[in-house]
Amino acid sequence: LPSTGTCAAPRAGRRPGCAYGGSRGGGGGRGDEVWRHALSADASLVSDVFQGQLRSVVCCSECGYEDASYELFWSLPLPLPPARTSGEAPPTLADALDCFCAEEPLDSWRCDRCARQGRGSKRMRLW
């Protein structure tokens, strides 16, 4: 889904087949492990339809280190995108997902690798 603009209050959250996440085919490692555990603990039609997984990545702007974590979800608190000018179509679900997945700056953050206090960023993807 294409990006349709910026979000007034950006938040930086994949279920298999989602256009907002990465590929499950490789590099998922820990994410695949979390997902397999969720399926073994709660495999049902309800979880197949309503459960998903967020991948949160925090990146250090000093050394480039990226730390990923994974979290299961049953619902997403999607922000409302900013109102458009008159005559334009109202915001769509894709607009709300773009806002949810937008990169968020971190001004006072300490990197686990280089131990520097400084700027970083956080982004969430549906995994």
Q: Is 117 in a helix, a strand, or coil?
A: strand
pLDDT tens sequence across 23-53: 333 445 778 888 888 777 877 878 778 888 8
Q: Whole-prediction pTM value?
A: 0.64
C-beta atoms surrounding 117 within 10 Å = 11
How far apart CA 51 and CA 71 sit, in angstroms, is 11
pLDDT tens sequence across 58-80: 999 989 999 999 988 988 889 88
| Residue from 42, 110, 95, 109 nearest 72 by CA | 42
